Chain A
Amino acid sequence: MSVYSPPGTDGAIVTYESRYDHWIGGEYVPPVKGQYFQNPSPVTGQNFCEVARGTAEDVERALDAAHGAAGAWGRTSPAERANILNKIADRMEANLEKLAVAETWENGKPVRETMAADIPLAIDHFRYFAGALRAQEGSLGELDDDTVAYHFHEPLGVVAQIIPWNFPILMAVWKLAPALAAGNAVVLKPAEQTPASIHYWMSLVADLLPPGVLNIVNGFGVEAGKPLASSKRVAKVAFTGETTTGRLIMQYASENIIPVTLELGGKSPNIFFADVSRADDDFMDKALEGFAMFALNQGEVCTCPSRALIQQGHYSDFLAAGVKRVENIKQGNPLDTDTQVGAQASNDQLEKILSYFDIGRQEGAKVLTGGARADLGGDLSGGYYVQPTIFEGANSMRIFQEEIFGPVVSVTSFTDYADAIKIANDTLYGLGAGVWTREMNLAYRAGRDIKAGRVWTNCYHLYPAHAAFGGYKQSGIGRENHKMMLDHYQQTKNLLVSYSPKAMGFF
Chain B
Amino acid sequence: MGARVDVTPAAAELIRSLRGQHGPLMFHQSGGCCDGSAPMCYPEGEFRTGSSDVLLEELRIDGVAEPVSFWMSTAQFEAWKHTHLTVDVVPGRGSGFSLEAPEGVRFLIRSRVLTPEELAALP
Contacts and interface: CB of A to CB of B under 8 A. Distances in A.
A405 B92 contact: no
B102 A53 contact: yes
A357 B73 CA distance: 23
A348 interface: yes
Q: Which 4 A-B pairs have the closest CB atoms?
A: A265-B33, A348-B92, A265-B32, A242-B36
B112 A359 contact: yes
A382 interface: no
Contacts of B40: 244-245, 248
Interface string B28-42: 111111111110101
A466 interface: no
A403 interface: yes
Given A346-B92, A351-B90, A398-B83, A243 B36 contact: yes
A401 B79 contact: yes
Contacts of B92: 346-349, 351
Interface in A225-284: 225-226, 229, 240-248, 251, 263-266
Contacts of A359: 83, 111-113
Interface of B: 28-38, 40, 42, 46-48, 73, 75-76, 79-80, 83, 90-99, 101-102, 104, 106, 108-113
A251 B31 contact: no
A245 B96 contact: yes
A302 interface: yes
A189 to B, nearest CB: 11
B31 A243 contact: yes
Given A244-B96, A251-B48, A264 B33 contact: yes
Contact of A241 (B34, B42, B110): B34
A352 interface: yes
A355 interface: yes
Contact of B95 (A221, A223, A226, A355): A221
A244 B37 CA distance: 10
Max chain B Cβ within 10 angstroms of own Cβ: one of A359, A429, A474: A359
Contacts of A165: 34, 95
Contacts of B99: 222
Contacts of A355: 108-111
Contact of A402 (B31, B46, B102, B108): B31
A220 B102 contact: yes
A247 B101 CA distance: 19
Interface residues of A, number: 54
A142 interface: no
Contacts of A242: 30-38, 96
A17 interface: no
A480 interface: no
Contact of A403 (B33, B42, B95, B111): B33
Contacts of B37: 242, 352, 356, 402-405
A347 B33 contact: no
A41 to B, nearest CB: 12
A474 B78 CA distance: 14
A437 interface: no
A47 to B, nearest CB: 12
A229 B46 CA distance: 14
A99 to B, nearest CB: 22
A348 B108 CA distance: 8
30 contacts: A164-B34, A165-B34, A222-B99, A229-B97, A240-B33, A241-B36, A242-B35, A243-B32, A243-B36, A244-B96, A245-B96, A247-B47, A248-B46, A264-B32, A264-B33, A265-B36, A347-B92, A348-B35, A348-B94, A348-B108, A351-B92, A352-B37, A355-B111, A356-B37, A359-B111, A396-B79, A402-B31, A402-B36, A428-B75, A428-B79
A161 interface: no
Contacts of A396: 79
Contact of A225 (B29, B42, B97, B110): B97
A297 interface: no
Contacts of A387: none
A166 interface: yes
Contacts of A362: 111-113
Interface in A353-367: 355-356, 358-359, 362-363
A429 B92 CA distance: 27
A224 B91 CA distance: 20
B104 to A, nearest CB: 8
Nearest to A164: B34
B79 to A, nearest CB: 4
Contacts of B83: 359, 398
Contact of A346 (B48, B93, B112): B93
A413 interface: no
A403 B31 contact: yes
B32 A348 contact: no
Nearest to B71: A244
A242 B40 CA distance: 10
B32 A266 contact: yes
Max chain B Cβ within 10 angstroms of own Cβ: one of A53, A225, A346: A346
